[in-house]
Each structure stands twice: as structure tokens, then as C-alpha cells.
Amino acid sequence: MKIFERLIYSILNSKFKKFLVLFITLLAFVGSIMMLPSKLVLAKMLPGKSANTYSIYVDTPTGSSVEQTRRVTQCIDGILQKEKEVVNIETYLGMGSPLDYAGLVKGSGFKRSENVAEIVVNLTDKHKRDEKSFMMVHRLRPVIQKNCENLVKGTNIKMIEQPAGPPTLASIVVELYGSNAQKVRKIAKQIAGILKQTKGLVDVDIMQDEIYKKFELKVDKEKVIRSGISIKQVNQILYLAFEGMNVAIKNSENAPEQIPLFLVLSKKTKELSSFSKDALKDKLSSLKLMNKKGMMTPVIELVNIKEVDSEPTIMSKDLRKMVNITAETDLVSQVYPLLKARAKMKEFFSKNYDVKSTHLFNLQLKDKKTGEIYDLNWDGEMKVTMDTFRDLGAAFIAALVLIFLLMVIYYKSFAISGIILLGSFLSIIGVIVGHWVMDVFTVDTFFLTATSLIGFIALMGISSRNSLLLIDFAVSLIEKGMPKRKAIAVATATRAKPIFLTAAAIILASTLLARDPIFGGLGVALIFGTISAVIVSLIFVPVLMDNTKAIKDTK
Amino acid sequence: MSDIYKTKNIAGKLARSFLHNPLTSLLGIFLLLMGYIALQVTPREEDPQIEISGGSVMVILPGATPKQIDNIIVKPLERKIKEIKGVEHIYGVSMHNVGVVNVMYYIGENRESSNLKLYDKVMQNLDKLPKGVMQPIVKPFDIDIDIPIVTVSFYPKDNSNISQVELYERVKYIQNRLNSIENVAKTTLKGEKKQQYNIQVDLKKLSGFHLSMGQIVNALKSLAADVPDIKNRTVDGKLAIFGVKNAIESIRDVKNLIIAQYMGSPIYLKDIATVENGYNIQNFQSTEIIYKKNGKFTKSKKQITLTLSKLKGTNAVVIADAIAKKLDEFKSELSKEGVGYKITRNYGVRADEAVNELVMHLLVSIVIIAILLVLVLGWKESLIVTFTVPAILAVTIFVAFMTGQTINRITLFAFLLSLGLLVDAAIIVIENIHRHLHEHDAVDKDMDDILVEATDEIGAPTNIATLAIILTMVPMAFVGQMMGQFMKPIPQNVPVALFTSLVVAYIFTPFLSRKLLKKPKLHHHEHHFQKNDTELKGEEK
């Protein structure tokens, strides 16, 4: 301890050494902050969580049949069966799987059409398995998409992992607003194209119905009335014949429900020979309607067939027409691919549109010819991340202000309170460097996450206490009549012991946290932040104390 | 220094009043017990409860195109819903025949009143909806009830020939039984096939016999009429009851239904259609399962998934256990019928695992800190500090239980976060006591006085330091959005733990020190490297 006391004393007595301490601290601070923009340390809201289950969403194009969808799911099932860690695979055709947190926001509960399916994959227990579930998803995704997406053209397969934190629609969501529906479709396709090309982004999908061909039957009113048949009758019989209806009910004492009598044309005889107007005409000529007098009229004589495009579902958000384009990230943070894609979009659209940046990363496209305006907003996990980091940042500043006020009340000096604040703020060096070190030593990327920020905020209080101890003791030594420099050196050396002791307690308590996938960021922030806080308060703070006039010799 | 030490602040006052109080040890036991009970009864979940309020309004207008739906249903509805206070986003979906408006409230809005407001708004504007629409359906989101905690998949065993309808009837029965388990809320089936008589008409035969579908419908309707029993009276005033039996007793009755006469002979339904007792073929939804058996995957099997969810604020672990037990009772019975089942989701087990894992972390961390203290301060001192940790956690868990929180990943994370901080107060007190006991003049002083003085001295700086840490946690309570809700247990619990750590340190550390620590008998002197140190340590943090 004597050695340490002498060391501090010698630093305080030499102008050069004091400068050196301040300079090195500044260098370390700037250096660590630079690790963020230089991408040595990557930020993400929450890291991936290894789970015992994941889901696969299959969307064949709107208008596809359940048989086509089934072909895709069978292909996926086949690939999954080769995995040794898979315990069971459940396939839900034409509906969503039982709701989970991910499905809740991804609209899984609303799925009810022939072109959707969800597959739930259950794995062996994560503790007894080497491969983390997100690594497995990462490995299987390209295999599944390559082999199965081509079975039905336009199929979209998404791999859905359990979210570590609050669920979102997707990692990256681009909301495209515009009133010209056709133009919006075109732009959406272009955006999806850009997202697909961006490295790190997968599962790109435009959340809109595909337009497909369908037939429109137009009832010839005159003929219908003349043949003594009502339009309602035509509609009903067509529906009955091809879709089928429950026409009567049988009550039963043994079955849990009433037994309906379901009437429909047999599958074999109602099938069209091909997807064409003539095939449909053929069918409708053999289906006949009877009027009240018992006269039979073939349906085809009452209607005209026209081939038309289907009308897609119209989506709107907050009263404006909108199309969502979604993308997932593949093991990477969504922040960086987003910035890349955004830059590319700006470049791509500037040919035909005036591109303007609006709120945050959002863009506005103005058609150079027509003057139509399209808004392009980012949503999804990206927005949640931005909001969370912003709110945590605000919480952090609020914490700074509160500590400062508390110290001002306690010491009645702005300068001393400032030193304490600065000292605790510098623990950020350890937080960032710690993440970099962990990233170097772990296999997958170690992200700076929301939990790291929470750790950092907690650190503020801890390291302000270190400085508080130091200053408190030094001031009382000076009051006893010790010269200022001597007093600072003695106080630092004496307080080193409890500072080390409490720091050790925090570090030891956090080591187990550091191994956790979610709270790892917090653990690392606490461990490395505490280390840097100890160094800062034992070397940097004494120098500041010496320099300030707020601490004065009593003589 | 022979007179009684005058306490300067709350730390010394607490230490003094509890030092000789016989209730102190009782209080300690009571605290631990309270914490243990709270740990057992507090509902466990994997993720914390996030208050999301919102709902969807569905309006059906048969035959309308998406554009029509958008103009006459969705747009007006959206405008009306916009009038509700607290609504963050409105999502409109206009499809064929159906318009859906999904409403998301700001996170943290009261769920009950939000649901009510939405329902109210829709009902008030019923008159503005176009003609021909069906009654709007208003469905609030309810995460607890909508997200099942357990899903069970029932499937026919390898060599069983149980039909899909029979499987459904078995599962339906089990669903009823499981629904009676306490705190089980909504149960649903996925992929079920219901019994149905299928009449599939051959189009060629239909036109060959010059028949129309309408004739078949009429014939079936006239057959399947159900009438209530008829009450008649006899001459002497007694009741004579008779009723017409439903003409369809079995599938044979349907098959032999006469539709029309053709060239003098009757045409039966079976002549022009295949009639069978089957399942609802018009339902395109189906579920399949593939599972591993003896290291090999089985063939894809049709299955029925039963999903079970729990009531809000109830213990996922207990409910999932009860469900698994109840299913076990059915196992042999089901097996005989050729039905196998697999639990494909169990959030109860997941919650328990996550909680147990973190509790384990907590214990290991406490042991590590204890060892550190043994090395630096001595085993008795270490023991005292180690005791305070469970006491503090016990109070925190109890407070969490009383305020209606659940034990989940984030609550435990808050405990782990505070663990490194909450031993500090006790360490500081014990270190000061330790130092005072080994001082030169310790022999002359009363033991009680030393303990109270040591505690009192460090009161002010410790209070300030702890207050500083609590202050850093408070702003976190104002983080908005989902993430803020998700993290809420941290600002809720860490300040409680820190405050408790102060009180426990002031009350129990001197109390236990009196029981365990002794003044060194001999006036030995430890070499303090600095004379000042001994005098001024009073100002220790």
C-alpha cells in the first residue's frame, strides 16, 4: 500500500505525469468510443437465444391450393428428418401453429387460407446439444429455401426463431405508404430486391397478396328472368355444386356434435380438365337449374365467363394505404444491413424520384413526373431497438443528473460533483473494450445489447461510490491538517482496499451472468466496467482532485 | 469514551434498538420464512407479463370486393376508432367479403378499459354500417389466454386403424376433462375432423337423370325435419305424448332417399351420389406430425393438437404439471384404443428450468462472494455477510409477490444484478466492526458500544452511496414501448433490494456480530500502516 501511495504522490507532484494520466485517459475514452462507428463492437437490441424449438412459415402465392402448399411442407419435412437433433415435427396446413410470442405479432393466429402452412420443429434439450438453435436455423435456412421454394413458384419460406425479448413483426420492416396501389406494388418489389441483395438479410417478403387469374361469371339478367330462375338461385347452386353446403342436420346422442349432411359434387366430376375458360364452360353446361315449372336450364346459358385478375387484399395503417416489406437478419445485428440497404435505396430511387430523408432513417420518394409521394418508414425490431436505446440513453442522462444533484447536495460543490460524475462516466471505456475482448474470444459475434446499457447505467452508481469514498476521506484528512497532495495520496492508498473488495464482489457476482446469452452483455459491462472504474477512480480521479480548487488546503 | 455512544443517524439507531431485542432473531427467521414461502407461491413464468392492449373488429359483408369493403366498412370504421384516446396504431385489412380493423393501444394502457372503449365505439356506430353486413365481431387481444402454455398432439399409433372422427371424439373428451383443471383457461383443437355425412353427387349421372341439385336439397331437407314431441290428452285428462322420430337414423336412410321418379322407377340418392359417413371434407385445414421413435422418424401422421392456456397471474409450472399428470391417467386407456400422444410444448417446464437455472447462478455467486470474504475478513465475518444475502432476497421476493409480480427471467436477472451491490452495505459495516474490534482501545470499550458506533459511523456515506445507485435505477422505469415493459422488473426490484440491504445491514450485522464475534482478549496490536487511518476510518463510506 505504501508503494501505491508513493506512486500517486509522485504522479501528483509531476506536471508531466499528471498530463500523461489525463492524456492516456482521453485517448482510451476516444479510442473506445471509436470502436462503435468502426464496427469493432456491434450493437444489437438482444442477442439470439438458444431454444428447444423453432418454427417455419410457408407461404405459397395467394390462390395456391392446399395440395401445392403440402408439397412444399413435405419437402421441408424431408430435410428436417435428416437432422439428428430434431425430436418431432408438426405441420399445420392451412392455418397457424398454436400461438406463441413470435406468432402473436406475426399474425399467425389470423392465418386461414389454403396457401399458408406452419411447421413447428422441436429439438432435443438445449443443454444436451452442441449446436445452438439459431446456428441450426442459420445452417438449414439456405438448404430449405433452395430445395423447397422452387416447388411452387413464388413460395416464401421463413424460419422463425423464438425472440429473446419482446416480439416484433420482423427484424427489419419497411412500411411503404402511397395511394397509387399499382405503383406501390412496383416500388415494394424494388425494395424487396434491394433487401435481398443486402448481405446479412434473409427471408425477404412483401406482405401482400399476389395477383392471380380468376374467372368472373356475369349473370345475364334477361335470360335469367325469362327462364324463371332467380339470380340468388344461380349463386346458391353454383356454390352448392362446387364448394358444397350443409343442407340438413342429424341430431345424434352419441356424437359430441350434430352431424351435418354435406352435399357437393363429387371430386372427380367437378374437377376442371385444365385452367381455362373452355373447361369451365364445359362444366357449367352439364350443371342444370330447374325452374318452378320443372324446366331445366344449363347454368352456362345464364352467365358469361370472363377471365380477370384477382383483387388483392388492401392493407392500411393509421388510415393510410400501406404495404409491409419484411426481412430477417441472419446472425447479424439489423442496424448495419439496414444502413447499407438504405444507402442503396437512396441511390436506386434517385433516378426517378426525389429522395428526401424524413424522421430518423425514414425516406420520402417524390415521383419526378407525377409528383406522387411515397413514404418509406422503418419499423419492426429496428424501431424497437432505436426506441429502446433512445429511452435507455435518456434514462442514463437522467441518472447522471440525479447523481450530480445528489452529490451537489452532499458536497455543496459543483466541481467535486463534476469529478465524481466524470469518473463514473469513464467506466464506459471498460464496457466497450470488454465487449470487444469478448467478441474476440467467442465464436459468434458478441453484441453490445440493451442489457449492456442497463449494466452501464448500474455502473454509474457503483463507480460514483468509489470516487465518493476517496474524496470524502481526502477532505477529512485535509481538515486534520495534512497537505493536499499528501492527503490525496494517502486517501487513495487507504481506500484502495474497500474499493477492491467491493469491486471483486461485483465482478465475481457477474461472472456467471457473462455466460448467459441474453444477460451476457450486462455481465460483461459490469465486469469490465468495474475494472475500468477502479482504475479510473484510483489514478484519474486523484489527478482531478489535485487540479481542482474546490478541495483546498486548510492552511 | 466510557459513556454510552450517542447515535448520529438512522444506522446507529437501528443497530442500537435491535441489538438486544429478543425479537431480532425471530425477525430474521420470519424474514427467511417469508421469502421461502413467497418463492414457492409466486407464480413462475419464463417471460414477464407484457401488458398489451388492443383488439380487432371484424365485419362481414358477403359478396363484397376488397375495394368495396375498404370504402364502405374499413375506412369509416378506422375513422371512428381514431377518436378513441390511447390508440397508437390502427391496421386495416380489406379482403373479399371481410373487413378487419386491428387496434393497438399504447403500451401500458389499462387493458380492461381499452377493451371497453373499443367495444363501446363499435356498438355506438352500428347504425353507420352499410346494409347487409353481419353483426361486427369485436375481439380483444389477450396474451395470457391466447398463448397456450401446453400443447399436446394426439395421433393414431402405428398399427391402429382409428378413424379421424373417432380420434376427434376421444380428444374432445380429453379436452373436456383437462379443461376442468384449476386455472386452465382456453382450450382449443387444431386439425380436428368432425363427423359428417358426405353426399358427393356425380355430375354426369345428375344430368343423365335430368335432375338438379335443388331437388336433392329439397329431398334431404324434408327427410331431416325434427319436431318436438306432441302432447295430447286422453279422455280422462292424462297426457299422451307422441313424437315423430327423425327419419335419418343411420347413413342407410340417406342412401335410400328417393329423389325422383325416372321412367316409372324411383331414383335413390345412392344411385347418383356416393354417400358415406365421413368427416368434414370441405375443411382444408389439417395437421400432421412426424416424431422420432427408436431413433427413426415415423411416417407423417394426421394428428389433432390440443392447446391449453392459463389464467393471468397463475403459475405455469403447477398447471403444466397438473395437465401432464392428468394425461398420464388416460395413457393406458388411449393406448388400448390405438391413440398416442406427445406433449409438444410445455412452457411450465421451460419456465421452471429458466428460473432454476438463475436461482442456481444466484447461489453459486453467493458462495463465491462468501469465499472471497473468508479470505479477506475471516470466516465468522463472512458467515454474517452471507446470512444477509438470503434475508435481503427474501424481503425482495416477498415485496415482488405482494405487488403481484411473477418470478421470471427478468426478475431473477434483477436479483443477479443487485447481488453484487447488496452485499456492499453488509461488507462495509462488518469491515468497520472488524476494524474497531481490533483497535488499540477496544479492550476498554463496551462491546455493544463498539458495534453501534461502528455501524453509526459509516451510516451517512453508505446511505448516500446506496441512494446514488437507487437513483440510477429509477429512470429505467420510464423506458417506454415493449422493451420498457419487458425490463420493468429491474427498476421495480433493484431499488427494493438495495433499500432492504441497508436496513438488514444496520439491524442484523451488529446483532450477529454480537453473537459471533469476540473482542480479542489480549491487547495485541495489528500494525496499521497509517496512524491517521485508525482515527479517521470513522468517515468510511
**Which of B204, B168, B203 minimizes the C-alpha distance to B287?**
B168
d(CA A193, CA A198): 9
The string of DSSP codes covering B327-341 is: HHHHHHHHHHTTEEE
- How many other CB atoms are found less than 10 A from the CB of residue A485? 17
A98–B307: do the CB atoms touch at under 8 Å? yes
pLDDT-based confidence at residue B226 (cuts at 50, 70, 90): low
Using the structure block, give the residue that is written with the C-alpha cell 426506441: A387
pLDDT-based confidence at residue B144 (cuts at 50, 70, 90): low
The angle at the Cα of A97, spanning A94 to A98, to the nearest 5 degrees, equals 135
pLDDT-based confidence at residue B4 (cuts at 50, 70, 90): low
- Quote the pLDDT of residue B515: 79
- Quote the pLDDT of residue B174: 92
- Quote the pLDDT of residue B520: 66
Determine the distance in angstroms separating the CA of A347 from the nearest CA of chain B, rounded to an integer. 31
Out of A64-73, A436-445, B149-158, B185-194, pick the least confident.
Answer: A436-445
Considering just the CA atoms, what is the radius of gyration of chain B in Å?
37
On the question of pLDDT at A115 being above 80, the answer is yes
**Interface contacts (A, B; CB < 8 Å):** 402
Task: Give the pLDDT mean for B252-264.
Answer: 84
Write out chain B residues lying below 8 Å of A482, CB-based. 532
- Quote the pLDDT of residue A255: 67
Using the structure block, give the residue that is written with the C-alpha cell 484519474: A540
d(CA A471, CA A490): 11
Identify the H or E element spanning B285: none
On the question of pLDDT at A545 being above 80, the answer is yes
Q: Cell triple for residue A158?
A: 421463413
Using CA coordinates, name the residue in chain B closest to A1. Answer: B529
- Quote the pLDDT of residue A554: 63
Mutate to test the interface with A, among B288, B301, B302, B501 (most CBs of A within 10 A): B288
pLDDT-based confidence at residue A463 (cuts at 50, 70, 90): confident
A102 at B interface, C-beta within 8 A: no
Write out chain A residues lying below 8 Å of B422, CB-based. none
Long-range contacts of A295-301 (CB under 8 A, 24+ apart): A295/A227, A295/A228, A296/B210, A296/B212, A297/A227, A297/A229, A299/A234, A299/A237, A299/A238, A301/A223, A301/A227
d(CA A34, CA A333): 18
Integer angstrom CA distances of residue A447 from A51, A346, A451: 19, 28, 10
List, for residues B461-481, the tens digit of each pLDDT value: 778 888 888 888 888 888 777
Considering just the CA atoms, what is the radius of gyration of chain A in Å?
34
The string of DSSP codes covering A40-73 is: SS-B-SS-----SEEEEEEEPPTT--HHHHHHHH
Pairing of strands B137-140, B184-190: unpaired
Write out chain A residues lying below 8 Å of B208, CB-based. none
Task: Give the pLDDT mean for A285-293.
Answer: 82
Determine the distance in angstroms separating the CA of A273 from the nearest CA of chain B, rounded to an integer. 14
Q: Cell triple for residue B380?
A: 465468522
Cβ contacts of B235 within 8 Å, gap of 6 or more: none
Give the mean pLDDT of chain A.
Answer: 85
**In chain B, pLDDT over 70 holds for what percent of residues?**
92
Using the structure block, give the residue that is written with the C-alpha cell 462472494: B369
d(CA A49, CA A166): 12
d(CA B201, CA A241): 8
List, for residues B273-326, the tens digit of each pLDDT value: 999 888 888 888 899 999 988 888 888 889 999 999 888 778 888 899 999 999
Decide if A60 contacts A68 (C-beta within 8 A): yes
pLDDT-based confidence at residue B503 (cuts at 50, 70, 90): confident
Question: Considering only residues 324 to 343 of chain A, which have any Cβ-Cβ distance to chain B shorter than 8 Å?
Answer: none
Identify the H or E element spanning A474: helix A450-479
B246–A288: do the CB atoms touch at under 8 Å? no
Q: Between A104, A317, A384, which is nearest B483 by CB?
A: A384
A502 against B284, higher pLDDT: B284
Angle between helix B447-473 and helix B409-437 axes, rounded to 10 deg = 150
A334 against B524, higher pLDDT: A334
Task: Give the pLDDT mean for B169-181.
Answer: 90
Determine the distance in angstroms separating the CA of A291 from the nearest CA of chain B, rounded to an integer. 10
On the question of pLDDT at A468 being above 60, the answer is yes
Write out chain B residues lying below 8 Å of A312, CB-based. 66
Determine the distance in angstroms separating the CA of A25 from the nearest CA of chain B, rounded to an integer. 24
d(CA B470, CA B491): 9
- Quote the pLDDT of residue A145: 92
Write out chain B residues lying below 8 Å of A104, CB-based. 141, 143, 146-147
- Quote the pLDDT of residue B327: 92
Task: Give the pLDDT mean for A66-95.
Answer: 92
Torsion sign (Cα): A203, B288, A154, A364:
negative
On the question of pLDDT at A36 being above 90, the answer is no
Q: Distance from first CA to last CA of chain B, Å, rounded?
A: 23
Mutate to test the interface with A, among B52, B212, B427 (most CBs of A within 10 A): B212
B139 against B444, higher pLDDT: B139
B151–A109: do the CB atoms touch at under 8 Å? no
C-alpha B81 chain-centroid distance: 29
Largest CA distance in chain B: 129
Using the structure block, give the residue that is written with the C-alpha cell 402405428: B158
DSSP type of residue B371:
H
Decide if A324 contacts A198 (C-beta within 8 A): no
A120 at B interface, C-beta within 8 A: yes
On the question of pLDDT at B182 being above 60, the answer is yes
d(CA B21, CA B161): 75
Using CA coordinates, name the residue in chain B closest to A475. Answer: B539
According to the per-residue pLDDT averaged within each range, which of A76-80, B387-391, B396-400 is highest?
A76-80
Using the structure block, give the residue that is written with the C-alpha cell 364502405: B72
ipTM of this complex: 0.81
The string of DSSP codes covering A334-356 is: SHHHHHHHHHHHHHHHTTTEEEE
A318–B89: do the CB atoms touch at under 8 Å? yes
B146–A120: do the CB atoms touch at under 8 Å? no
pLDDT-based confidence at residue B442 (cuts at 50, 70, 90): low
On the question of pLDDT at B431 being above 50, the answer is yes
A269 at B interface, C-beta within 8 A: yes
Angle between helix B489-516 and helix B379-402 axes, rounded to 10 deg = 140
Write out chain A residues lying below 8 Å of B96, CB-based. 311
Strand pairing partners for B105? B87
Question: Considering only residues 39 to 68 of chain A, which have any Cβ-Cβ distance to chain B shorter than 8 Å?
Answer: 45, 52-53, 66
Determine the distance in angstroms separating the CA of B3 from the nearest CA of chain A, rounded to an integer. 25
- How many other CB atoms are found less than 10 A from the CB of residue B235? 5
Using the structure block, give the residue that is written with the C-alpha cell 389433432: B304
- Quote the pLDDT of residue A75: 93
The string of DSSP codes covering A410-467 is: HH--HHHHHHHHHHHHTTHHHHHHHHHHHHHHSSS---B-HHHHHHHHHHHHHHHHHH
Mutate to test the interface with B, among A454, A460, A478, A531 (most CBs of B within 10 A): A454
Question: Considering only residues 304 to 323 of chain A, which have any Cβ-Cβ distance to chain B shorter than 8 Å?
Answer: 311-319
Determine the distance in angstroms separating the CA of B328 from the nearest CA of chain A, rounded to an integer. 20
d(CA B99, CA B61): 8
Burial grade of B451 (CB within 10 A; 0-12, 13-18, 19 or more): buried
B420–A518: do the CB atoms touch at under 8 Å? no
DSSP type of residue A30:
H
Q: Between B94, B226, B423, which is nearest A505 by CB?
A: B423
Write out chain B residues lying below 8 Å of A266, CB-based. 200-203, 273-274
Phi, psi of A537 (to 5 degrees): -75, -25
On the question of pLDDT at B265 being above 60, the answer is yes
Using the structure block, give the residue that is written with the C-alpha cell 442503396: A344
d(CA A251, CA B56): 34
B417–A402: do the CB atoms touch at under 8 Å? no
On the question of pLDDT at B517 being above 80, the answer is no
- Quote the pLDDT of residue B540: 39
A24 at B interface, C-beta within 8 A: no
Using the structure block, give the residue that is written with the C-alpha cell 335470360: A223
Out of A154-163, A266-275, B471-480, pick the least confident.
Answer: B471-480
B248–A498: do the CB atoms touch at under 8 Å? no
A98 at B interface, C-beta within 8 A: yes
- Quote the pLDDT of residue B185: 87
If DSSP states are collapsed to H, E and C, what string results for B182-234? CCEEEEEEECCCCEEEEEEECHHHHHHCCCCHHHHHHHHHHHCCCCCCEEEEC
A511 against B142, higher pLDDT: A511
d(CA A321, CA B92): 9
On the question of pLDDT at B1 being above 60, the answer is no
DSSP type of residue B73:
I
Q: Cell triple for residue A26?
A: 482521453
A350 CB-side CA count, 13 A: 8
